[in-house]
Amino acid sequence: MIRITLLGNLTGAVLTFVYFRFLDVSAHEGAKSIGQGELLFFVAGFAVLVAIGHAMGSRWIGVVTNATQAPPPGPEGDRLRRRALAIPAIFALLSFSGWVAASLVWGVLWPLLAGDFDPVRALRQMFGMIFISGTTVTAIVFFATEQAWRRELPRFFPSGGLSATGAPRLRVRTRMVTVFLLMSLLPLAVLSVAVLIRARALHGADPATAESIINNLVVVIAVLAAAGLLVSLRLATLVADSVAGPLRDVQRAMAHVERGALDAHCAVVSNDEIGEVAEGFNRMVEGLREREVIRETFGKYVSPEVRDEILAGRASLAGALREVTILFADLRDFTPWVESTPPAEVVADLNSYFTEMDAAIRAHRGLVLQFIGDEIEAVFGAPLADPRHAESAARAALGMRDRLAAWNSARRAAGKVALRHGIGIHTGTVLAGNIGSSERLSYALVGDAVNLASRIQGLNKDFGTEILLSGVTRGALDDAFDLEPLPAVRVKGKSAEVDVYSLS
């Protein structure tokens, strides 16, 4: 930033010196010719102003650049962040102050020292240096410094929040209008004054003098046009980059999000409307990430298909009578195993068992409603309709059996005891929906069919079987399953006997 400020001011100072001392005859008319003393005074004066500006700028920016980490929260961090935001304005202010001082040094002090002070010429030079050269160079320094400093701003504002600092804001409209005025009115004003002064000088001038004035005017117009074009291009480029650069960053981040990359982050580098857009974009992406976490977490409770249907609003969770197939699974000899096994190992083994069984149920569009101790309750056909829910439940039970066999093989290899379970399946009509308190809901089933499925699961102990299903479920299956009829039984809560089948 200091180098940008120095280069900008040096260029402006040289051009201003050349204009007033060589090109604009009327500006130095009556003044002594340029000598070694004036050149030395120019160099010395510029060096003194640069030294003062450098000391003040270094003092301001030093506190900021010496911070190796992001500013901490609290008043001290807020002060540092406001200081970081103000750096372009501070360097612009230093530049403008330097031009005001330079106008006094070269417009008043040097003519007094040289003995050719002229109030009109001094006022003209001071006006040109402050409001023409000073204003233009200050604008260039501000936008160039802002562009360079934007690479450092994210270190102070990793999460955005530039507007929360309370620092003054340079809005896009103000930025555009200011540069438009500098690019249009200032060159026209300088050109108009130059033409007006020379037009007045032509009155009463002899032909030779008039020709000299006209030739000088042509040179001045050419120089002003070239300098105005270069300055206008530089200002236009800086302002365009100050707007287009952050917008391109937002555009690239949006493209990342469109491709599904929710780790996209847009650096907030301006305290204007575009900065607000970037902050809003980051908040939006953060919300999408949180939604994705919720979505993935929800997917741990239901199958991905069910999850997507529920989140899309295509699955009704309101209470409704549904024909479904219920599956219960329960570990055998659970209590003795728990008593002889360390608690941490019991929890780890249960989690591993439930993971395997849950995968088998999900693979066939089932939904695990709850884990109750060592028991699993699952439903097929809700909340998403499945016309083949009985078949899905039967195939899930076979998958659970196969997974348990593979899991037990690994346990035996590790020196652990094998576990057994019983599975009961029944098809019937239930009330399905979100049930619970106003603070916590669970998707649950209510009805006699649920109780009967649990009772059928318990019959595995009596028959020495692993998978039992009711006659109702049997009637919904085709001949693709190996089913063995068992004697009808009377279960608790039922007056009539229930037909049961063993699935193998």
Tens digits of per-residue pLDDT, 240-288? Answer: 888 888 888 888 888 888 888 888 888 888 888 888 888 888 888 888 8
Residue indicated by tokens 């690019």: 183
pLDDT at residue 325, rounded to an integer: 97
Domain span including residue 77: 2-258
| Cβ count within 10 A of residue 356 | 16
- Cβ-proximal residues to 53 (8 Å cutoff; 6+ apart), any chain: 5, 9, 94, 95, 97, 98
Binned at pLDDT 50, 70 and 90, residue 466 comes out as very high
Do 209 and 71 fall within a single domain? yes
pLDDT at residue 353, rounded to an integer: 96
Say if 287 falls within a structural domain.
no
- List the one residue out of 378, 354, 352, 353 whose CA is nearest residue 365: 378
Last residue of a domain, one of 258, 292, 309: 258
Residue indicated by tokens 């907030």: 268
Element (H, E) at 242: helix 207-258
Examine the pLDDT at 30 and tell me if it is beyond 60: no
pLDDT at residue 482, rounded to an integer: 93
Say if 286 falls within a structural domain.
no
pLDDT at residue 1, rounded to an integer: 59
Q: Which of 56-60, 66-70, 288-292 has the lowest mean pLDDT?
A: 66-70
Residue indicated by tokens 């200050």: 138
pLDDT at residue 427, rounded to an integer: 96
Cα distances (Å, whole numbers) of residue 490 to 144, 474, 475, 500 = 89, 18, 19, 10
Q: Averaging pLDDT over each range in 182-191, 350-359, 490-499, which range is the top one? A: 350-359
Do 379 and 245 fall within a single domain? no
93 close to 56: Cβ distance less than 8 angstroms: no
Binned at pLDDT 50, 70 and 90, residue 299 comes out as low
DSSP 314: -
pLDDT at residue 499, rounded to an integer: 93
* CA separation for the pair 167, 120 (Å, rounded): 41
Say if 135 falls within a structural domain.
yes
* CA separation for the pair 276, 162 (Å, rounded): 8
Binned at pLDDT 50, 70 and 90, residue 440 comes out as confident
Helix ranges (H only) for 259-320 are 273-298, 304-311
pLDDT at residue 27, rounded to an integer: 57
Do 344 and 238 fall within a single domain? no
Say if 331 falls within a structural domain.
yes
Q: Are strands 421-436 and 467-470 parallel, antiparallel or unpaired?
A: parallel
Do 325 and 455 fall within a single domain? yes
Tokens at 6, concatenated:
């120095």
* CA separation for the pair 175, 242 (Å, rounded): 9
Say if 187 falls within a structural domain.
yes
Domain count, the chain: 2
> For the chain, how many helices (H) and strands (E)?
17, 8
Residue indicated by tokens 């029944």: 426
153 close to 242: Cβ distance less than 8 angstroms: no
201 half-sphere exposure, CB direction, 13 A CA radius: 22
417 close to 332: Cβ distance less than 8 angstroms: no
pLDDT at residue 3, rounded to an integer: 72
The region, left, alpha or beta by phi > 0 then psi within -120 to 50, assigned to residue 485 is: beta
Say if 408 falls within a structural domain.
yes
pLDDT at residue 483, rounded to an integer: 94
133 close to 186: Cβ distance less than 8 angstroms: no
Sequence-distant contacts of 306-313: CB under 8 A, at least 24 apart: 306/365, 306/367, 306/383, 306/384, 309/383, 309/384, 310/383
Binned at pLDDT 50, 70 and 90, residue 366 comes out as very high
Do 231 and 373 fall within a single domain? no
Which carries the bigger pLDDT value, residue 239 or residue 481? 481
Say if 289 falls within a structural domain.
no
Residue count of the chain: 504
Tens digits of per-residue pLDDT, 249-260? Answer: 888 888 888 888
Examine the pLDDT at 47 and tell me if it is beyond 90: no
For all residues of the chain together, what is the average pLDDT? 83
Say if 266 falls within a structural domain.
no
DSSP 56: H
Do 324 and 252 fall within a single domain? no
Do 324 and 233 fall within a single domain? no
* Torsion sign (Cα): 492, 495, 501, 503: negative
* CA separation for the pair 502, 176 (Å, rounded): 81
- Cβ-proximal residues to 407 (8 Å cutoff; 6+ apart), any chain: 352, 353, 356
Sequence-distant contacts of 255-259: CB under 8 A, at least 24 apart: 257/285, 257/288
Mean pLDDT of 341-352: 93
Q: Write the CATH number for 473.
A: 3.30.70.1230
